[in-house]
Amino acid sequence: MSEHENPEVPEIFTKRTSKQFSSEELEERILKFLASRQLCVLSTCRDNVPRSTPILFRSQGFTLFMAGEPGLKLGNIKQNPRVSVGIFDPKAEFSDDWHDITGLQISGTARLIGKNDPGFQEAFTLLDRPQAWAEHWFGMMIEVIPDKIELLSMALKLEDYAARQIWTRSGL
- What confidence tens digit (pLDDT) does each residue in 31-72 have? 999 999 999 999 999 999 999 999 999 999 999 999 988 889
pTM of the model: 0.86
Percentage above 90 pLDDT, the chain: 63
Helix %, strand %, coil % of the chain (to 5): 30, 35, 35
Q: Among candidates 109, 115, 172, which has minimal Cα distance to 144? A: 109
Q: What is the mean pLDDT of the chain?
A: 88
CA distance 93 to 122: 34
Structural domains present in the chain: 11-168 (2.30.110.10)
- What number of other Cβ atoms are within 10 A of residue 63's Cβ? 16
CA 5 to CA 156: how far, in whole Å?
Answer: 20
